[in-house]
Amino acid sequence: MLCVMLYSGANVGFCSDEMDMNQYGKANISFYKSGGKDTSFLNLMQENDSLRVMKTLPFYGSNFEYIAHAANILTGTLDGKQEYNVRHVVNQVMAIIAILFCGLIAARLKGYRAALLAAWFLFLTPTFIGWALFDTKDLPFCMGYIASVYFLILFMEQLPRPTVKTTIYLMLALFFTLGIRVGGLLLYGYLLLFVPLVLWSKRRKGEVFIKKEDLLPLASKLALVIGGSLVLTILSWPYVLIDPMHNFVAAIESAKKFPADIAMNFKGDVIHSILLPGDYLPTYFFITIPVILLALMPASFVLVVLKFKQIKWQRVLLVMVAAIVPLIYSQVSSMTLYNGWRHLMFFYPCTMVIAGVGTDMIIDMLKKPVLQMAFGVLLLAGFIHPIRWCIANGPYQYVYYNELEGFKDAYYNYENDVWSISVKPAIDWLMINEHVADKKDSVLIATNVGTYANYYLRTQYPGARVRAVAVSTKNYSNYKWDYLLLNTIFLQTNYLQDHYPPDGTIHTIDADGRPLTAIVKDTTHLQYYISDAVENQDNYFKADSFARVYMASTRKPNPNLLGLLAMINARLYNYDKAVDYGMKAIQNNHNDFSGRAAMAFVCFKQKKIEAAVEHINICLAQDPNNDFLLQLADSIKFAMQPSNN
């Protein structure tokens, strides 16, 4: 498994989120090196075309970052070309450890066949393995969570006299998990719930809850587990260390409602991460988990509940609680989520434990070898689709959609390359095939993944005369770029369906025949000249001449240039063309500024005052100090006066 993962994830891309966490981890290390004087972790900024304060980073612990940093030092890759590759290897090893603990728990519940089934079920889930290749935010927490559940089971089995070894392992597992994310507090709840439950269930009739001679040793070990892990967490988390009570509570509050309002595609519509529909998680589970596992999971849960007495029910109940409670909490609390179920990845190994145990029970129930063999063939057949898809589309396993949806359809309706890892091979293709690294003149690359692109170009192609500028689909025509790398991140359904990849695309990085990153070449710069003539020169005749050439030379015009074309024609009194372009611009983007401004101008000239008011109000909400709009607004107000009707 590890070999497959290392091969698939070798030299895989990464995103600005991981760059943020890496920088944050280094800042935390600087805090300790300086004896607490360096508090730059509180005000970190990531260099981009503009600087942005990463306000939420202190709400994370850095336990993974410390381990990755140590691995970089040991391998001599710190701040070098291979820095992120080493981080990913550490992450992939942790994924294998998570699979190992998943199997170990299943073995304690039912036996080694159940363990093998659970481990393989987890490994053959493309979404899990895909994120395991590079998601250094969620996978380490997932590993810590399942490891903590395992050691909690050992602790429960040894009650009322758990060994010192088990006690220390449980303490360290809790510390590792909580020191990544405050969601690790769930594990403390399980501990405080199941220790008395197990003690109660172990007592014989007429016996006391716990013997006096066992009370103090057990209390001291519980204190070591809880107190020790909390103290270690505080000491390893600079933000919490400088004000333990206040800042730990702040981290908890942030986790309850993470302050990230992200627009994303869901069922072909645009939704927001802070206001999710109730079926967001169920839908993503239903279309991203292999169909064979969707069938096995509910059947396994039912079987395990029905056969509680055949296995130690306390262990099973703990695993079920560890799997179900996070899901219930996320639904009840309206938790901020995005990228599917990435943030709840930690529940999934526990679910695979139950699936492995339940499947093993089904095999036992079949009894006859021929029936068991037929069932085994059915299981293997159920994994053909995810296995084939992963082999054909690595390292993009994390964008997998099962047979019920299929990636080719889901591509337009749901999220896909949300971490933009396809940008790396796009840059490499561009540098090699367009010989960008060898060009004497400077080359400007526009991209909607600017932070990563600049870092990658700087570290992997240090001698190349190339620079990346961060753009969006709305403003890339404002730059005189030579190449555009446009990733699907944040691209909405209508844009993907009608305008992607853009005209001028010379190559795409694909998954299952759908482009994840498009490489666009521009030798005429007509889009820039149109924008420049309007925005900087206020020369609409010049802009119109460029626009005519541009429209004659393109099959698929930039939709975010339509509003500008509407304004050009409006100012040149070509009202029919202005309305045509303006309506198309608004259809593409309801709040298109130039399109709305052009429509306001035309409607005013055509004495459609109510329509002019509607358009100009939308514009003023975006730019209340625009001179042209303010003058137009005054003219509209004057026209609305009764004496002028």
The Cα–Cα gap between 84 and 44 comes to 20
pLDDT at 640 exceeding the cut of 50: yes
Cα–Cα distances (Å) from 185 to 40, 101, 188, in that order, read 27, 20, 5
Task: List, in order, residues 6 or more apart from 86 with CB less than 8 Å away.
Answer: 68, 71, 72, 75, 77
The Cα–Cα gap between 121 and 292 comes to 10
The Cβ of residue 403 has, within 10 Å, a number of other Cβ atoms equal to 13
3-class secondary-structure state, position 466? strand
User: What is residue 135's predicted lDDT score, i.e. its pLDDT?
Assistant: 94
Segments of the chain assigned to CATH 1.25.40.10? 528-644
Task: List, in order, residues 6 or more apart from 514 with CB less than 8 Å away.
Answer: 407, 408, 411, 416
* Dihedral sign (CA 396, 459, 43, 230): positive
pLDDT at 309 exceeding the cut of 80: no
Task: List, in order, residues 6 or more apart from 236 with CB less than 8 Å away.
Answer: 61, 62, 63, 66, 175, 179
* Six-digit token string for 85: 């590759």
Query: How would you classify the pairing of strands 483-487 and 443-447?
Result: parallel
Question: Residue 152 half-sphere exposure, CB side, CA atoms within 13 Å?
Answer: 29
Position 335 confidence tier, pLDDT thresholds 50, 70, 90: confident
Residues 340-344, mean pLDDT to the nearest whole number: 94
- Mean residue pLDDT of the chain comes to 92
pLDDT digits (tens, 9 = 90+) for 360-381: 999 999 989 999 999 999 999 9
Q: Percentage of residues in the chain with pLDDT exceeding 90?
A: 79
Query: How would you classify the pairing of strands 263-266 and 45-46?
Result: unpaired
Task: List, in order, residues 6 or more apart from 14 with CB less than 8 Å away.
Answer: 84, 87, 88, 134, 419, 421, 424, 452
User: What is residue 352's predicted lDDT score, i.e. its pLDDT?
Assistant: 98
Residues 127-139, mean pLDDT to the nearest whole number: 95
- Domain 423-521 in CATH 3.40.190: yes
pLDDT at 218 exceeding the cut of 50: yes
* Exposed/middle/buried for residue 466 (C-beta within 10 Å: 0-12, 13-18, 19+): buried
In which region does residue 38 sit, left (phi positive, over 0), alpha (psi from -120 to 50) or beta (all else)? beta
pLDDT at 52 exceeding the cut of 60: no
pLDDT at 295 exceeding the cut of 80: yes
User: What is residue 438's predicted lDDT score, i.e. its pLDDT?
Assistant: 86
The Cα–Cα gap between 607 and 460 comes to 59
Q: Percentage of residues in the chain with pLDDT exceeding 70?
A: 97
Question: Residue 612 half-sphere exposure, CB side, CA atoms within 13 Å?
Answer: 21
pLDDT at 261 exceeding the cut of 90: no
User: What is residue 645's predicted lDDT score, i.e. its pLDDT?
Assistant: 56
pLDDT at 486 exceeding the cut of 60: yes
The Cα–Cα gap between 302 and 320 comes to 11
The Cα–Cα gap between 290 and 142 comes to 20
More confident residue, 215 or 209: 215
pLDDT digits (tens, 9 = 90+) for 388-407: 999 999 899 999 999 999 99
User: What is residue 51's predicted lDDT score, i.e. its pLDDT?
Assistant: 36
Position 54 confidence tier, pLDDT thresholds 50, 70, 90: low
Position 49 confidence tier, pLDDT thresholds 50, 70, 90: very low
Cα–Cα distances (Å) from 236 to 28, 30, 231, in that order, read 9, 12, 9
Which residues share a beta bridge with 72?
Answer: none
User: What is residue 298's predicted lDDT score, i.e. its pLDDT?
Assistant: 95
Least trusted range by pLDDT, from 30-34, 41-45, 617-621 = 41-45
Residues 167-177, mean pLDDT to the nearest whole number: 98
CATH superfamily of this structure's domain 528-644: Tetratricopeptide repeat domain (1.25.40.10)
Cα–Cα distances (Å) from 512 to 389, 390, 393, 397, in that order, read 8, 10, 6, 11
3-state secondary structure 480-549: CCCEEEEECCCCCHHHHHHHCCCCCEEEEEEECCEEEEEEEECCCCHHHHHHHHHHCCCCHHHHHHHHHH
Main-chain dihedrals φ then ψ at residue 135, nearest 5 degrees: -85, 90
Of 236, 196, 214, the C-alpha closest to 62 is 236
What number of H helices and E strands is found in the chain? 29, 9
Which residues share a beta bridge with 46?
Answer: 52
pLDDT at 22 exceeding the cut of 60: yes
Position 1 confidence tier, pLDDT thresholds 50, 70, 90: confident
Residues 118-142, mean pLDDT to the nearest whole number: 96
* Exposed/middle/buried for residue 627 (C-beta within 10 Å: 0-12, 13-18, 19+): exposed
pLDDT at 205 exceeding the cut of 60: no
Of 599, 537, 590, the C-alpha closest to 565 is 599
Residues 131-151, mean pLDDT to the nearest whole number: 96
**8 A C-beta contact, residue 603 and residue 615:** yes
Secondary element (H or E) of residue 363 = helix 348-366
pLDDT at 510 exceeding the cut of 50: yes
The Cα–Cα gap between 520 and 477 comes to 12
Residues 134-152, mean pLDDT to the nearest whole number: 97
3-class secondary-structure state, position 4? helix
* Six-digit token string for 58: 């202190």
Pure H helices in 554-626: 562-571, 575-588, 593-605, 609-622
3-state secondary structure 374-436: HHHHHHHHHCHHHHHHHHHHCCCHHHCCCCCCCHHHHHHHCCCCCCCCCHHHHHHHHHHHCCH
* Exposed/middle/buried for residue 184 (C-beta within 10 Å: 0-12, 13-18, 19+): buried
The Cα–Cα gap between 323 and 297 comes to 12
The Cα–Cα gap between 553 and 314 comes to 71
Segments of the chain assigned to CATH 3.40.190? 423-521
CA angle 13, 19, 24 (to 5 degrees): 155
Secondary element (H or E) of residue 71 = helix 63-75
Position 430 confidence tier, pLDDT thresholds 50, 70, 90: very high
User: What is residue 176's predicted lDDT score, i.e. its pLDDT?
Assistant: 98
User: What is residue 495's predicted lDDT score, i.e. its pLDDT?
Assistant: 92
Of 479, 470, 435, the C-alpha closest to 449 is 470
pLDDT digits (tens, 9 = 90+) for 62-87: 999 999 999 999 999 998 899 999 99
Residues 280-307, mean pLDDT to the nearest whole number: 95
Which residues share a beta bridge with 484?
Answer: 446, 520
The Cα–Cα gap between 466 and 453 comes to 11
pLDDT digits (tens, 9 = 90+) for 514-555: 999 999 999 999 999 999 998 887 899 999 999 999 999 998
